[in-house]
């Protein structure tokens, strides 16, 4: 789907504030793609679609996720986690996205996972550091993303874990695996 049409279709599904967030994630993801050698069109498409299911009713997200078999058992966790996997189904079935890397970037953008691709890391990080994010520590995450994708992944993941534990939220296994796996990445060459 051509970029303008994709934007219109996404805008139609989201409240305007959320759509503005999506556009900022897109800008940020394209900067990271440039910086770390990822295809910019893939980053644009994945970013535009990452929150495509965010405004859907819980019941609908649950229905879509159940129909796919819910292999990661996201339904056992807070409903905030449901829009990633459901969004990937919408991207595939309603936007005709076939690229498995783009679909994974949408699917895992909230939890992350072990063994993320470069595109998955870019979307996960861009979602946290887009210019509208103003939580304490956001500046540090942006600074990490200036130099290394893997260092930024560890920093973003650690920030999420700390936040989740501070509000006593249950942590999904993929959220934890993302963090552990990012530590081992940091031992090798930068920006792999
Ligand atoms: O959709 P966004 O608001 O742009 O951001 P997001 O999809 O990254 O995160 C949505 C929420 O999901 C955020 O408040 C943090 C939460 N979250 C991420 N990982 C976990 C989690 N919540 C629980 N309970 N467990 C997790 O592992
Ligand atoms: Fe999201
Ligand atoms: Fe988002």
CA distances (Å), origin 2, targets 6, 18, 33, 59, 71: 6, 21, 19, 31, 32
pLDDT digits (tens, 9 = 90+) for 34-63: 999 999 999 999 999 999 999 999 999 999
- pTM (predicted TM-score): 0.96
pLDDT digits (tens, 9 = 90+) for 63-113: 999 999 999 999 999 999 999 999 999 999 999 999 999 999 999 999 999
Q: In terms of residue numbers, what domain contains 149?
A: 3-191
Q: Ligand 1 pocket test: which of 110, 138, 161, 164 has the largest number of ligand atoms within 8 Å of its C-beta?
A: 110
pLDDT at 190: 47
CATH number at residue 184: 1.10.3210.10
Whole-number Å distance, alpha carbon 128 to ligand 1 midpoint, is: 10
Mean pLDDT of 116-124: 98
Ligand 3 being an ion, which residues bring their Cβ within 5 A of it? 51, 127
Q: Which residues have any ligand 1 atom within 6 Å of their CB? A: 51, 54, 77-78, 80-81, 109-111, 127, 160, 164, 169-172, 175
* Structural domain count, the chain: 1
């Amino acid at each position: 789907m051509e970029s303008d049409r994709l934007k219109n279709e996404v805008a139609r599904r989201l409240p305007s504030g959320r759509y503005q967030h999506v556009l900022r994630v897109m800008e940020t993801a394209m900067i990271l793609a440039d910086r770390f050698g990822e295809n910019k069109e893939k980053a644009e498409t994945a970013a535009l679609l990452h929150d495509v299911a965010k405004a859907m009713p819980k019941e609908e997200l649950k229905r879509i996720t159940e129909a796919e078999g819910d292999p990661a058992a996201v339904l056992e966790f807070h409903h905030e986690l449901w829009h990633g996997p459901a969004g990937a189904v919408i991207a595939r079935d309603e936007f005709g996205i076939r690229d498995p890397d783009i679909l994974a970037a949408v699917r895992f953008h909230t939890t992350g996972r072990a063994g993320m691709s470069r595109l998955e890391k870019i979307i996960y990080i861009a979602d946290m550091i887009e210019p509208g994010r103003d939580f304490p520590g956001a500046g540090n995450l942006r600074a990490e993303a200036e130099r290394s994708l893997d260092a930024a992944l560890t920093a973003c993941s650690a920030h999420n874990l700390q936040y989740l534990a501070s509000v006593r939220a249950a942590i999904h296994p993929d959220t934890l695996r993302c963090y552990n796996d990012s530590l081992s990445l940091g031992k090798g060459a930068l920006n792999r």
